[in-house]
Amino acid sequence: MAQKRPPATVDALIVGAGFAGLYMLHCLQARGFSAHVIELADDVGGVWHWNRYPGARCDVPSLEYSYSFSDDLEQEWQWTEHYAGQAEILSYLRHVASRFDLRKDISFSTTVLAATFDESVQRWTVTTDRGDTISAQHCVMATGSLSATRLPDLPGIADFAGEIYHTGAWPHHDVAFSGKRVGIIGTGSSGVQAIPMVARAAGNLTVFQRTPNFVVPAHNGPIAADRRKDWQQNFRDYRARAKQVGTLYEFSATPAFAVSDDVRTSEYRRRWDKGGVNFMHAFSDLMTDRKANETAAAFVRDRIGEIVHDPLVAEQLCPRDYPIGTKRICVGSQYYETYNRDNVTLVNLRETPVTQISVDAISTGAATYPIDVLICATGYDALTGALARIDITGCEGERLADKWAAGPRNYLGLMSAGFPNLFIVTGPGSPSVLVNMVVGIEHHVEWIANCLTDLRDRAAASIVPLPQDEDGWVRHVNDEADKTLFPLANSWYLGANIPGKPRVFLPFVGGIGRYRAICDEAAQSGYAGFAIAPQKPRKDA
């Protein structure tokens, strides 16, 4: 199908058509800007276009993991399940694209390769793999925090001749597992969702686990009629509160050791039985006090021991060397129960690492496992990966990749000094992956749209953060992370999953409410921390 070509000149060029890019386009159009989106996929949806693996679904309740900007949209879209599946979320985003007439301004199946800032005209020149060159006053990178997939660099993986899939680049056709020998590498959120589904469909499933994860049950199901009614009646209040806290969990103000052991355990039990990430908010100090954290970790390990019949397998599934929640907590359905199935084998790669992948098998030091289908649930080059894949050059020929070689540097997570008019949505230095991302996305998009409007009102050519304010923000992001247990885990939050990636805690842990106040304050003070350049008078004026 012939693809729509982008215009040669726009006010704003947006890269990515997921939750962020779609809303950015809508907001800018509503404010009278010319804007265009470039998306490498052949349709909208972002994560929800790419992640079609069995079991893929959100783990923030769907009523909250959705846009809040349109009351009509809120009322007309009926989520069926508490945690919607991939297909339903993709339908929702397609509906949004149609309802707000966005597709006409999106070029699909097109990859942005480079963006270069021309200081003489204060504009970006953006190029694509289809030979397009676009001149844009502003460039918005809505490229996703978890969109740059990563295959494991295991010996011989290129020789594997069976079917091989990454969860984040799943094919559009049905993958047949029946009677097949399936291997899955990775037990993060994607693996945890896929494993029970694949185990039910496959001849046999071998799970290659490097680090066990803490998995709390989802207890997913249809949204009850009274819950739906309550939401539709009170959604404005709920959405207003979510803007401050991200997701409407039951946040406790009580430290873990302020209550007796029995009370503490029954609180964990109550939350476990209810399901979801709410478990992690049982006590106020679980992410700041190692001993408090250990009480929650021990509770989950006890559940693993109860659920998994084979004590040796149960022990292999128990995380022991990092605090619970410091790697993204996983939400599963029948995850631990799956290891009681006769057709499922757990391989502990810490004890027996992969020594060789051949055309049809994976070998460890201890055994060889014949494999027909290999699933890599091996994650992403998170937060910076998608940006790093674009050759971005700012003032004085500085490349963003060089500037960020020792770790990302930006102001408020939104813009980087030396790169005027380049905005990043939910990038490093913002709450990003630590909160309900749709809430974070809506915040960023509205802040950016308001900023562009303010610049237009002032007849300004460009905005760019000041280096000293950027330095202060980078320090603040690190200081805040150091007050928590997060840096104790080898997680992708720290870039630890990518060999050679600098170890820097990437998202801002201070919460969306505080972050929102800081960003609002910057804008209301006339963009303190930024330099705004006026339009140059035209020579003929």
Which range binds ligand N01 by CB under 6 A, 74-82, 124-132, 188-196, 221-229?
A: 188-196
**Which residues, numbered 445-484, are part of the site for ligand FAD (CB under 6 A)?**
none
Contact 418, 398 (CB under 8 A): yes
Q: Which does 39 bind (CB under 5 to 8 A by kind): ligand FAD, ligand N01, none?
A: ligand FAD
Which range binds ligand N01 by CB under 6 A, 182-190, 297-305, 440-448, 473-481?
A: 182-190
Structure tokens belonging to residue 347: 């391989």
Contact 290, 485 (CB under 8 A): yes
Residues 358-397: x where in contact with ligand N01 by CB under 6 A, - otherwise, as a string:
-------------------xxxx-----------------
Query: Which amino acid does the sequence have at 88?
Result: E
Query: Which amino acid does the sequence have at 250?
Result: E
Residue among 140, 133, 139 nearest 117 (CA)? 139
Q: Which does 323 bind (CB under 5 to 8 A by kind): ligand FAD, ligand N01, none?
A: none
Half-sphere exposure of residue 240, counting CA atoms within 13 Å on the CB side? 4
Which range binds ligand N01 by CB under 6 A, 105-113, 125-133, 186-194, 367-375?
A: 186-194
Sign of the alpha-carbon torsion through 16, 22, 25, 28: negative
Q: Which of 37/464 has CB closer to ligand FAD?
A: 37
Residues 181-200: x where in contact with ligand FAD by CB under 6 A, - otherwise, as a string:
---------x----------
In the block, residue with structure tokens 């401050």? 244
Which residue of the chain is nearest ligand N01 when measured via CB?
188
Q: E-strand spans in 33-105?
A: 35-38
Which range binds ligand FAD by CB under 6 A, 5-13, 139-147, 483-491, 521-529?
A: 139-147
Among 425, 445, 481, 489, binds ligand FAD (CB under 6 A): 425
Look at strands 422-424 and 133-141 and give their pairing: parallel
Residue among 370, 474, 477 nearest 431 (CA)? 477
Sign of the alpha-carbon torsion through 78, 84, 85, 90: positive
Least distance from ligand FAD to the Cβ atom of residue 146, Å: 4
**Which residues, numbered 307-346, are part of the site for ligand N01 (CB under 6 A)?**
328, 331
DSSP 422: E
**146 counts as binding ligand FAD under rule CB under 6 A:** yes
Least distance from ligand FAD to the Cβ atom of residue 242, Å: 11
**188 counts as binding ligand N01 under rule CB under 6 A:** yes
Least distance from ligand N01 to the Cβ atom of residue 279, Å: 14
Query: Which amino acid does the sequence have at 22?
Result: L
Q: Which helix (H) or strand (E) holds 465?
A: strand 460-465
Q: Which does 145 bind (CB under 5 to 8 A by kind): ligand FAD, ligand N01, none?
A: ligand FAD
Least distance from ligand N01 to the Cβ atom of residue 423, Å: 22
Contact 36, 105 (CB under 8 A): yes
Contact 412, 523 (CB under 8 A): no
In the block, residue with structure tokens 């998995």? 215
Distance CA 136, CA 125 (A): 6
Q: Residue numbers of the site for ligand N01 (CB under 6 A)?
A: 58-59, 146, 152, 154, 167, 185-191, 193, 210-211, 328, 331, 349, 377-380, 433, 492, 497
Q: Residue numbers of the site for ligand FAD (CB under 6 A)?
A: 15-21, 38-41, 46-47, 49, 51, 56, 58-60, 65, 111-112, 142-147, 168, 190, 386, 389-390, 425-426, 436-437, 441
